[in-house]
Amino acid sequence: MSLFSLVYAERNAEVRAILDGVDCPTPKRVEEILAQSETCDGLELSDLAELLQAGATESAYEQFEMLRAYTSARWRIAAGNSVRYVAPIYVSSYCVDACPYCNFSALRKDTVRHRLNLDELQREIQSVLARDARVVELVYATDPEYDTRMLVRDITCALEAVRELDGGGVLLCTEYLSSQAYQALADAGLRGIVQWDETLDQQAYTRWHSASPRKADFRTRMDNHDRALSAGLEVASGALFGLADFRYDALMQVSRVRYFAEAYGRAPFVMGTARLKPIAGRELHLATSVSDRAHETALMVYKIALPHVGRWLQTRETFELNLRNMLDGDVFTYSCGEVQPGGYTQINTNSIAGAQFGVNEMERSYVDSELTNLGFRIDYGWMTAPRTEALAAR
Ligand code: SF4
């Protein structure tokens, strides 16, 4: 099996060397890079670093607007765009890890925790299917109760519910698992995994995760996508912006996706775009905080670098920001079950105390009308084999 950890040192050194010497591009230089992106088979990382630098430079407003105009013209037509819908269903909020940016951290004693039993899981699934969702993502914290047998049980339950639905499928978001576990889950009918790398900056990663008994293992976690891809699963990849220099995270993610293409002949079905947000009402004033401009630049650079891969626009962001950035083929979810187990069926009535983080839950009718105005529709049943392959192809 190919492993990203075996090429990590080389990729890390390449990205750091590029960032050491990067300057903010002039508008003319942005024009050249964008023109080149249409004729070559993927821009060089050094070109992408220049575009990212425009997002990090306060005075480069014109360059930023050029990126916006380019991506909108290329991937956002007047009508007929679609975004793919995924319904996250939180199954457990018990966690042994202690990420400081998450309310499920084992150190947060005030979090109201819950673990869905099978009846409750079925009710949550039926609740999202009643709202037309067909692709469900089962979400777990690092809960030791969930061994492979339990995950197979839950996946089987979800699959039974979506099996007959055109374009339906089941995704999984858990801690990193073994190759044997992924093989068993793939055999049970799982289609793919969702995992953000948080950051591939090892120093920053260790700073954020040293108190987490499972998650502290940077290398084993880094190779998780390899184990899933080798088992035949689709993967969603990405960084959590804000833990380290966003330019480093974005370039390493592009490098990683290119590695997936070389090693497995396919790309992730979506790029995650999560960004660190205040937790429990506390603003985090960090040197690595990512402004809206920087964040939106990273989203556009992903699309320019990886034209066939959509981005997963996050409900942690405002609807206005997501509408500004939405492009054909992205993933967009307007309801996340209040990011806690039982959120769709209101098992916990004190919703804030049980949520993983703050999100913007929205009414479907409002979302539909705003999206229609912009020429978008929501695709609920997108997980057909040929379409998934096309989305994952480079
Ligand atoms: S981010 Fe995941 S691993 Fe970390 S505390 Fe939250 S649920 Fe646990």
What pLDDT sits at residue 266?
93
pLDDT of residue 350: 64
Q: 143: Cβ below 6 Å to ligand 1?
A: no
| Position 197 in a domain | yes
Q: Tell me the backbone φ, ψ of residue 131, rounded to 5 degrees.
A: -95, 15
The answer to whether position 2 is within a domain reads no
Tell whether 88 is covered by a domain.
yes
162 lines ligand 1 (CB under 6 A): no
Residue 394 has pLDDT above 70, yes or no: no
Q: Does the beta carbon of 215 sit less than 6 angstroms from any atom of ligand 1?
A: yes
Residue 49 domain flag: no
Residue nearest to atom 2 of ligand 1 (CA): 141
pLDDT of amino acid 357? 84
User: CA–CA separation, 271 vs 310, rounded Å?
Assistant: 6
Kindly state the average pLDDT of the residues 224-248: 97
3-state secondary structure of 75: helix
Report whether pLDDT(389) > 60.
no
95 lines ligand 1 (CB under 6 A): yes
Helix (H) or strand (E) holding 159: helix 148-162
Of all residues in the chain, what percent carry a pLDDT higher than 90? 87
Q: Confirm or reject: Cβ of 221 under 6 Å from ligand 1.
A: no
Residue 379 pLDDT > 80: yes
127, part of any domain: yes
Domain assignment present for 366: yes
Q: In which band, very low, low, confident or very high, does the pLDDT at 77 lie, cut at 50, 70 and 90?
A: confident
Is 286 part of a structural domain of the chain? Answer: yes
CB 195 near ligand 1, within 6 Å? no
Q: How far is the CA of 368 from the centre of ligand 1 (A)?
A: 32
Residues in CB range of 320: below 8 A, 6 or more apart: none
pLDDT of residue 349: 61
Cα–Cα distances in Å, from 156 out to 86, 89, 127, 345? 18, 14, 17, 21
Q: How many domains does the chain have?
A: 1
DSSP sequence for 270-325: EEE--B---BTTB----TT---HHHHHHHHHHHHHHSTT--EEE-TTS-HHHHHHH
The per-residue pLDDT for 294 is 97
Q: For 140-156, what is each residue's pLDDT tens digit? A: 999 999 999 999 999 99
List CB contacts of 318: < 8 A, sequence separation 6 or more.
Answer: 360
Q: Domain containing 128 — which CATH number?
A: 3.20.20.70
Owning domain of residue 240: 79-392
Q: Within a domain: residue 34?
A: no
81 vs 62: CA distance, rounded Å: 26
Confidence band, pLDDT 50/70/90 cuts, at residue 347: confident
Q: Which residues pair with 332 in a beta bridge?
A: 313
Measure 391 CA to ligand 1 centroid, in angstroms: 28
- pLDDT surpassing 50 at residue 268: yes
- In the structure encoding, which two tokens stand for residue 140, read together? 């777990």
Residue 387 reports pLDDT greater than 60: no
Determine whether the shortest distance from the Cβ of 104 to ligand 1 is under 6 A. Answer: yes
